Structure formats: C-alpha cells, structure tokens
Amino acid sequence: VTGASFVVFNGALKTSSGFLAKSSIVEDGLMVQITRETMEGLRQALRDKEDFRITCGKVDAGDVKEYVDICWVENEEKTNKG
C-alpha cells in the first residue's frame, strides 16, 4: 500500500510497449501510465462511481503483478485527510 499526495493518470502508453500499465513514484505522488483503452475504462468507472483496478507490469510477467486500485468509500474518516 502506497500513500500519495497526488495521482497522475497518463493515457499515452502504447500497447506495443509490452506493458499492461506502469506505475512509478514521482516526488510525493504516483504516476500511472496506462493505455488509451484502460483510460476509457477508468473514465467510465469514475463517472459511474465504481471501483476500478489497473494491473501493472509486463504482459508476459506471469503471476508477478502490481495493482493500482481506485476505490470509492462510504466512511471518509478512514481516508487520508491531507
């Protein structure tokens, strides 16, 4: 679990890169590079207020994967107030 002050979603990752998605720490935030198709899915999930999971890593990496989960919560007391 990583806490971040901000998150940047970059929808310019090429399918030919060999990655499903890439995440990296940038200063005190998180940058997630995703494909155009994943960005469209993310936008729709945000509009619909639905949870969304982005699987990061190489396409052929097998079971070794990282995930970026976007989750809607009911109780704001458990979220970061910064």
- Please tell me the pTM assigned to this model: 0.79
Taking the C-alpha atoms of residue 26 and residue 14, their distance in angstroms, rounded to an integer, is: 20
Residue-level pLDDT, tens digit, the chain, 82 residues? 667 789 999 999 998 999 999 999 888 899 999 999 999 999 999 999 999 999 999 988 777 778 999 998 887 665 566 5
Domains of the chain: residue spans and CATH: 6-70 (3.30.1360.220)
Residue in this structure with the two tokens 């207020």, named with its chain if needed: 49
**Six-digit token pair at 33?**
């590079």
Taking the C-alpha atoms of residue 10 and residue 7, their distance in angstroms, rounded to an integer, is: 10
10 DSSP β-pair partners: 33
pLDDT of residue 1: 64
